[in-house]
Amino acid sequence: MTYQISDTRVRSPRGPDIRATLARTAQRARGIFADYGLLLAFFAGWHVASVTGLLNPAVFPPLDRIGQALWNGIASGRLVGDIGISLQRAGLAFFAAVALGIPLGLFMGQIRAVERALDPILQLFRQTSALALYPVFILLLGLGEASKVFVIFWATLFPILLATIGGVKEVDAKLIEMARTFGAARLTTFRRVVLPASVPAIFVGLRLSATTALLLLIAAEMIGANKGLGFQVMNAQYNFQIPLMFAAIFLLAGLGLAANWVLVLLQRRLCRWNTARH
């Protein structure tokens, strides 16, 4: 069942010895260094430059002071509340966009006439910056949560919708024909061929949408909000609490990385056939 065609590695009969373990550890350390060395150097350079006064520490505080601000913010619950509300806004908008975008995209990609009729209006909406429409949404929905969630939803919808349409349209017609020769009904062909073939493209859309959601979240929170990480960045800067400002910025970056990481993991689970190595 779990036959591996390519596993030709031969194990030492005496089991793993210490030298091999050491060599493997050294290799893994080298690997980590190759991946993250430059990032570590960046932060080290920042810290040293700030402590020695090469960079203005009032604008670029040393990392320990940012860490301190982060810790204080979390311990006092202040930043926790900001994270919560930000996650709620971005999450609500993202999941609504996905829940609408994927089914609509699958439908539009299947039916040429629908896709043709809707394409021009989609292109127009997509090219109109969501931020430019934010005042319109505020007029319609007020300055509260609804307009914030809606502007994020609006911007997040297009990447996932267009990626899904593209994925469905790109499905190899030869595979669909193959399914038909076995007598597969339209719905069966959709479920067994079109849908799985579109999954990689849908994931590209999901990751784009997640990035867009965070981008719009920050912008929306900088206008007329009194809570949230985006608000905290602006507010801390306004009050000249620079370490707190950077703490909020790093939290936002962490949020983006975490969202991407979850999606990559999910994609690996669902697309094992695609990532399986020779």
Partner 1 sequence: MTLVQTQAKGEVTIRDLTKSFPLDGETLTVLKGINLDIRGGESLAIVGASGSGKTTLLRVLAGLEEPDTGDVLTDGAPVHGLGRERAVIFQEPRLLPWLTVLDNVAFGLEVQGVPKPEAAERARRYIRLVGLAEFEAAWPRQLSGGMAQRVGIARALTVQPEILLLDEPLGALDAMTKMTMQEELTRIWHEEKVTMVLVTHDLEEAIFLADRVLVLPGTKGDAIRLIDVDLPRPRDRNDTGFVGYRRQLMAEFGLH
Residues that bind partner 1 (CB under 8 A): 1-3, 5-6, 174-175, 177-185, 188-189, 192-193, 196-197, 199, 271, 273-274, 276, 278
Q: Which is nearer to partner 1, 123 or 188 (CB)?
A: 188
In the complex, minimum distance from the CB of residue 191 to partner 1, in angstroms, rounded to a whole number: 10
Range 58-65, long-range pairs (CB < 8 A, 24+ positions): 58/242, 59/242, 61/242, 61/243, 61/246, 65/243
Alpha-carbon torsion angle 120, 121, 122, 126, nearest 10 = 110
In whole angstroms, give the CA distance from residue 175 to residue 189. Answer: 9
In the complex, minimum distance from the CB of residue 179 to partner 1, in angstroms, rounded to a whole number: 6
DSSP label of 17: -
Q: Which is nearer to partner 1, 5 or 34 (CB)?
A: 5
In the complex, minimum distance from the CB of residue 106 to partner 1, in angstroms, rounded to a whole number: 16
In the complex, minimum distance from the CB of residue 260 to partner 1, in angstroms, rounded to a whole number: 23
Q: Which is nearer to partner 1, 238 or 273 (CB)?
A: 273
Q: Which is nearer to partner 1, 5 or 58 (CB)?
A: 5
Q: Which is nearer to partner 1, 41 or 185 (CB)?
A: 185
**What amino acid is encoded at 58 in this protein?**
A
In the complex, minimum distance from the CB of residue 174 to partner 1, in angstroms, rounded to a whole number: 6
In the complex, minimum distance from the CB of residue 170 to partner 1, in angstroms, rounded to a whole number: 14
In whole angstroms, give the CA distance from residue 141 to residue 253. Answer: 29
Q: Which of 181, 178, 176 is nearest to 197 (CA)?
A: 176
**What amino acid is encoded at 243 in this protein?**
P
In whole angstroms, give the CA distance from residue 25 to residue 22. Answer: 5
Neighbours of 126 (CB within 10 A): 15
Alpha-carbon torsion angle 216, 221, 227, 233, nearest 10 = 100
Q: Which is nearer to partner 1, 189 or 209 (CB)?
A: 189
The burial of 57, by beta-carbon neighbours within 10 Å (0-12 exposed, 13-18 middle, 19 or more buried), is given as middle
In whole angstroms, give the CA distance from residue 231 to residue 217. Answer: 10
In the complex, minimum distance from the CB of residue 187 to partner 1, in angstroms, rounded to a whole number: 11
Q: Which is nearer to partner 1, 68 or 110 (CB)?
A: 110
The burial of 161, by beta-carbon neighbours within 10 Å (0-12 exposed, 13-18 middle, 19 or more buried), is given as buried
